[in-house]
């Protein structure tokens, strides 16, 4: 007995020194092939710093016809709202897997869409490419027969819809690009009334306009006029949905953030405005050959934090009840970049955006696109999931409403975010390793109301190998039977351009009937550090960490 006691005492005595050496080594370590470092995730569990919607995950469907081309490449195919194959079982199953998926219908051409009015005798023609026209296309029309098909499909798929309305209706565009005049609501009113009269209960929100804030894209509307137009939309919605216990949200402006413009708009917008939406394409044009370098650069990823912070501050100081949404985000504008924005590497950018947006109390984040262009969650022609689809499906299933303050020490190449877990006890931690040469062994420390920081105790250190990298296995706890669930996402053959994603080493593929594969975790002893392999993503569902913020 005495010799065992002495052994334990000795190990415990050396523990602080071992931890100190590891900590110093992690700070001084140089990146190289097979490099292994240790770091710490610090989570403040005293209170949450934000709260996201249950249907935080959102994806867009656009109006672009097949003739939409960028840099000599036409990447949209038949994925427009006007010609999308609604009978494709893969498409249906991809949406149903979210239960529900929020879908925003809109995009650049929404301000050139009119809605068919039955019985008025006017033709309802599709978009026609015409470079002399505003936005490069003629006016297009949504037939009510197509709206019927879309509405029935979305109900079947269990989706909720945010519809982007035409804000240019009734306005004239002057030589300076300003859209002048009041919004003519009559055509939008006919669509909204048709939707209600036909019992289509899919609408979560009506959004007015696309990228007309600030300097605008193609055209712009002043903040004062936009606020007045929103008031008109609110009156229309209140009138048509009179008697409805729950009414759709009013969403605007669906444009790029401009602090001066947004401040004025929010100040003058009616108090009934529920959502302030903005767009993000922070990586630049899709033609850029340096997109991957930007995605792997922490400072580049951090560039949008100022936008989130500024909008959050404006909303807090304005006294409005409106909340922030990202209404459209594709990373790289002009349809993205093939084998980058639809490949494994883009999950680094995408999941980091979800984590960052959440930490600034953004309620919904809409990805451009669900399908279409080179940045779809689904393949443009086959509807098979691209890697980002699986990344965001895991987010949707694991990350709960409450957002926790999280930071990582050890390397700036690890991006760390944590939420209270969704539908289970504990927390879910997201770790993204932007380093292709370094395996990171992450330990979690938490702080509760008492201000006491808790960490895993270490008594006996072993270093076995796993297919995800070298792992410190720690034994000696009274709770060795407690486990966490981990989801390790990697690219096939380690190729960042790959459109095939692996979950815990196994390829994710839909089956012959188009069903989304089960996303099965591995169980890991609670005392083992979280191993984040080079160029990998880890979701760790940790039930044994109980924080006051998650009560």
Q: Active-site residues: which are they?
A: 211, 328
- Asked if the bond preceding 374 is cis, omega within 30° of 0, the reply is no
Chain Cα centroid distance, residue 362: 10
Task: Supply angle C-alpha 18, 20, 24, rounded to 5.
Answer: 120
Q: Give the span between the Cα atoms of 369 and 356, in whole angstroms.
A: 19
Instruction: Identify the three-state secondary structure at position 478.
Output: coil
3-state DSSP of 11-26: HHHHHHHHHHHHHHHH
> Which residue from 252, 411, 388, 244 is spatially nearest to 330, judged by alpha carbons?
388
Say which residue the tokens 């922070």 belong to.
Answer: 282
Decide: residue 66, CB within 10 A, 0-12 exposed, 13-18 middle, 19+ buried: middle
Q: Residue 61: CB partners within 8 Å, gap ≥ 6?
A: 79, 81, 84, 103, 104, 105, 369, 370, 371, 372
What are all long-range contacts of 17-23, with beta carbons under 8 Å and residues at least 24 apart?
Answer: 18/458, 18/461, 19/458
Instruction: Identify the three-state secondary structure at position 269.
Output: coil
Q: Give the span between the Cα atoms of 280 and 40, in whole angstroms.
A: 30
Number of neighbours of residue 448 by Cβ within 10 angstroms: 17
Strands 160-165 and 203-208: parallel
Radius of gyration of the chain (CA): 25
Helical (H) or strand (E) element with 431: strand 427-433
Chain Cα centroid distance, residue 222: 29
């Amino acid at each position: 007995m005495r010799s065992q006691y002495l052994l334990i005492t000795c190990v415990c005595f050396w523990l602080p020194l071992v931890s100190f050496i590891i900590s110093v080594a992690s700070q001084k370590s140089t990146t190289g092939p097979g490099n292994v470092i240790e770091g710490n995730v610090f989570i403040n569990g005293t209170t949450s710093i934000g709260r996201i919607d249950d249907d935080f995950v959102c994806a867009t469907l656009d109006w672009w016809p097949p003739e939409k081309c960028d840099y000599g490449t036409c990447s949209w195919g038949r994925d427009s709202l006007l010609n999308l194959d609604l009978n494709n079982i893969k498409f249906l199953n991809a949406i149903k897997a979210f239960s529900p998926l929020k879908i925003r219908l809109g995009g650049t051409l929404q301000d050139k869409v009119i809605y068919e009015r039955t019985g008025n005798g006017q033709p309802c023609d599709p978009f026609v490419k015409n470079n002399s026209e505003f936005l490069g296309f003629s006016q297009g029309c949504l037939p009510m027969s197509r709206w019927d098909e879309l509405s029935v499909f979305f109900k079947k798929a269990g989706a909720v819809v945010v519809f982007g309305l035409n804000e240019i209706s009734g306005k004239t565009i002057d030589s300076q690009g300003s859209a002048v005049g009041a919004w003519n609501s009559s055509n939008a009113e006919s669509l909204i009334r048709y939707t209600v009269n036909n019992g289509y209960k899919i609408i979560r929100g009506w959004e007015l306009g696309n990228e007309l804030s600030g300097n605008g894209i193609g055209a712009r509307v002043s903040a004062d006029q936009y606020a007045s137009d929103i008031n008109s939309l609110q009156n229309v919605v209140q009138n048509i949905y009179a008697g409805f216990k729950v009414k759709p949200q009013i969403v605007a402006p669906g444009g790029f953030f401009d602090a001066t413009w947004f401040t004025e708009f929010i100040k003058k917008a009616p108090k009934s405005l529920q959502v302030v939406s903005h767009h993000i394409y922070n990586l630049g044009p899709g033609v850029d050959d340096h997109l991957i370098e930007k995605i792997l650069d922490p400072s580049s990823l951090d560039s949008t934090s100022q936008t989130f912070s500024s909008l959050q501050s404006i909303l807090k100081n304005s006294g409005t009840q409106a909340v922030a949404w990202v209404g459209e985000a594709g990373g790289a504008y002009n349809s993205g970049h093939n084998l980058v924005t639809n490949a494994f590497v883009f999950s680094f950018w995408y999941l980091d955006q979800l984590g960052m947006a959440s930490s600034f109390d953004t309620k919904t984040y809409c990805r451009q696109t669900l399908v279409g262009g080179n940045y779809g969650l689904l393949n443009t022609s086959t509807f098979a999931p691209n890697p980002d689809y699986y990344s965001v499906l895991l987010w949707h299933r694991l990350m709960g409403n409450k957002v926790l303050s999280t930071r990582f020490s050890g390397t700036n190449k690890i991006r760390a975010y944590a939420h209270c877990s969704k539908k289970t006890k504990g927390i879910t931690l997201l770790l993204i390793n932007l380093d292709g040469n370094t395996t990171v062994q992450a330990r979690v420390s938490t702080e509760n109301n008492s201000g006491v920081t808790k960490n895993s105790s270490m008594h006996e250190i072993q270093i076995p190998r796993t297919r995800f990298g070298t792992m410190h296995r720690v034994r000696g706890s009274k709770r060795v039977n407690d486990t966490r669930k981990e989801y390790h996402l990697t690219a096939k053959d380690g190729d960042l351009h790959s459109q095939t994603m692996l979950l815990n080493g196994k390829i994710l593929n839909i089956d012959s009937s188009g069903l989304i594969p089960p996303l099965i975790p591995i169980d890991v002893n609670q005392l083992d550090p979280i191993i984040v392999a080079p160029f990998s993503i880890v979701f760790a569902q940790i039930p044994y960490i109980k924080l006051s913020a998650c009560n």
